[in-house]
Structure 1
């Protein structure tokens, strides 16, 4: 028994075709928007690729670009089909390909729904890649003379200034890495020698931070060296000087920026998915109602349209049987190739 049957006369079919035509061109515009947003997110992530541990975060923008292109092609084609459905002589050429085309639309909508979900759950993987990437980038801050790493100081300084952040989780992260290059250290100085000897790895560690951690809103000149030494500065308490340095870590700042942007895009993708589902359902009704015309040469007659030709249980069972028979057919052909070197001929009833 068909699921969700409706009766459509010529007037209703014409209105359905016209409405679908309009919805499809709206979907084409939505596809262009998805493509543009994918490019935008990819550029935004690319700008901070030096502080990201992997390229896994680019899956969402790449998917948006692909979805935008596919959506434009699919909906432009569907719009043409809906337009031709008003003329029976033109519609005849589309009848054979509409069923496999609808199957492809189902797969595309499943993919779009998955990407919409991923936009909301991408925070976890993004946080991991930012945490590891920032940690590695801070280690190369001092390597301004090393080929391939000489740009890292500028990258991190601009990052901390633009996003008003300091370090990975906070300014104390700079106390754990040597961010001052050896070329700017006086190794004849007792203080430098003592600091290097006191460290197991032989690094020059200080309780200081780069200038880009300074908050310009601070009422006093920025204190970036001996940050935790209250006696080194007049009228100073590092635990109370909240305005002196940015208190937020760059991982949190970047995560908030990117996850918020991608989540908003996820809402848009979900809305476009609803539009695509409506178009697909409408096309199914139009296709079945035209197929069920008693006399195809008389378009004025009334016909039935449905969403599924059989019940959900029967549809699922037939799909499962089709997959099983396809698997058995491939298995028999493979055995035939191994035994006689020629493809096996099978008969499927």
Structure 2
């Protein structure tokens, strides 16, 4: 490949990057991504930044046993701006549990984010069993804005010596629960996500163990649904690619209502022009140029310039040649039919 062709390829690549930046109005962060990271929007820096898909994978056993106070089963600090304005996370925690105290001890499980206790279960006196309960907790959290969240939760437990017990809902040695709540934590700051266990009394025969926890980030676009048309009126900070300069969905750009329009000043050139109030009309001062008309054989005729001018009480439509010669194509007088009509025929 020659140097010239290589330079052309580089130029085309850079042009593509420039076009992408103009369309998006933003830049991608220069931070180097790690393995398996995804691009996520940072509402504070206004940039796309590398963000981990899996925020945390914790396989350390934590045993809350012989405790009468609230104790942490799992916790992780979610860094500021990780979730974005419409992102979230899903948490799965699993382990086993021994309940064989011979008393009415109860267990309460809580899920917290920052200073908010989002979920606090009923204090449940779980039926005693010599077999450990298997349990799995799933938590979903989504931002509607950076400081407003909606949550869902599901918890299933069952007591059995089997590694995969299948229970019916009528079985006393099994629990199932689901929940919904909301919170207003500011996710542009660091926030601790925590799951805690709280036994009502200490007993060596009461134990809940966390064996694994996986925390994954959910990244969504700013829209309310996939594949829909974005409302550019709701976008901000677009800089020199201001969305107010776009054509409307109908393919036109309307002028302001009820006043004459200076479309040259607004940068509209070959676009379709439509006045939002038809009775106001559109005034175009100067001439309209049709450059490089291909059909005439004489190059001197390759430009046709038309403009309107006032001549007393009449209005004349004038044709101006490339040499400056002019021809009155049509004269419009008040209440009279057009005069001096000139028919133009192209000769191939």
Given the two structures, how large is their TM-score scaled by the length of structure 1?
0.22
Q: Structure 1 or 2: larger strand share? A: 2
The structure with more radius of gyration: 2
RCO higher in structure (CA 8 A, sep ≥6): 1
Higher helix share: 1
Alignment TM-score, normalising by the size of structure 2: 0.22
